[in-house]
Amino acid sequence: MDYHGAKYAYMVTILSVIKKIFLGKNRMPVISREGKLVSITCAFCRGSGNDPFGIMSHLSTCCVCKGKGIVKTLSPYRRCAHCSGTGAVKTLTCTACMGKGILPITTEDTRICPVCCGSGDDHSASAMYCLRCRGRGYVSLK
């Protein structure tokens, strides 16, 4: 690695440390009003902004938050049942929550999904989410 490459890697490392200090690793905002857009820590990269699996490179940016370390979502929200809030299924981005790790909550009365029994998974294919509840783990009573 030449001097400029080492300097770039050093700057990326410093920036990721600064992000962790100011954003916090597990920072979750307080939910205020319904339907308000809030920022939360990216579940896929855990706020680092880098690809957690290092498939392209350990310096490549997170495909979910685009390297910012945070994502926006509507409140109120709930942990994604399909990926258990991690944003990933195996080494793939969760298709139910698109890697955010959370899904907005519906305001209707709900019950546990009868097809997946609340797991959010399609039992015929482990990486797919339940088509009945779309990976939420619950369905509307209506």
**73 or 33, greater pLDDT:** 73
Residues with Cβ < 8 Å from 23, sequence gap 6 or more? 41, 47, 69, 70
DSSP 62: P
Give the residue-averaged pLDDT of 82-87.
91
Give the residue-averaged pLDDT of 31-46.
78
Residues with Cβ < 8 Å from 112, sequence gap 6 or more? 118, 137, 138, 139
Per-domain residue ranges for the chain?
A: 3-140
Q: Reply yes or no on whether the pLDDT at 12 is more than 80.
A: no
